[in-house]
Amino acid sequence: MIITISGVPGAGKTTVGKILAKKLGYEFFSMGDIRGRIAKERGLDINQLNKIGEKEDWTDRETDEYQKKLGKRNNIVVESRLAYHFIPHSVKIFLEVDPKTGAERVMKTERDDERYESIEETMEALEKRMESDRKRYKKYYGIDFPDKSKFDLVIDTTDKTPEQVVNIILDFIKNKYSS
Ligand code: ADP
Ligand code: MG
């Protein structure tokens, strides 16, 4: 089984994906890390890379190819906005969070490539990033993101701990594959 985790910034995709993979004994892959690396290799930060990506398609191509290859494997968890698209046979999870809570979580996270002074600034930056991503997905893939109907399970993580979210996913998988 392949589990793909999509969702909005700060929803807990990385956190939940890692715990889930560990519990299942699966390998975990994060496309956010790969995009970050592509940016870094070119002396850009993630927002600058996204800006370029609105006009040029090379910023996405590398991750796309990588995900298609992952789709041929088994027993993995993949964190990626578009993995549900490139790995259509996966169990497709979408994690949501209230924008303010998402911004608070991102702000609390120590990341050298992403630093904001206030919650307002963080919320604005995340909203801009979502909008930029949306444009890219529309332009290059004709995808309306996020179209929730494409997912097997949608979870609002606002009032849940990562462990609770993981348990919801595990229950879902158990029910889906035991009947
Ligand atoms: P995403 O990958 O969706 O952007 P992360 O997993 O990187 O989100 O989580 C962002 C921050 O929020 C991390 O510091 C993480 O520890 C924290 N976090 C994640 N999920 C939760 C949760 N359910 N409740 C509280 N904090 C969370
Ligand atoms: Mg992440």
- Three-class SS state of 83: helix
What are the tens digits of pLDDT across the range 3-54?
Answer: 999 999 999 999 999 999 999 999 999 987 888 889 999 999 888 998 898 8
Supply the mean pLDDT for the chain: 92
Cα 109 to Cα 33, 51, 55, 87: the distances in Å are: 15, 23, 30, 29
What are the tens digits of pLDDT across the range 140-161?
Answer: 899 999 899 999 999 999 999 9
Closest ligand 1 atom to residue 79 Cα is 2
**Mean pLDDT of all residues in 68-90:** 96
Closest ligand 1 atom to residue 11 Cα is 3
Q: What is the pTM for the complete model shown?
A: 0.91
CA of 14 relative to ligand 1 center, distance in Å:
7
CB 60 within 8 A of CB 137: no
Of the candidates 143, 171, 16, which has an alpha carbon nearest to the alpha carbon of residue 84?
143
- Please, where are the H alpha helices in the chain? 13-24, 31-41, 46-53, 58-70, 83-86, 99-108, 119-141, 162-178
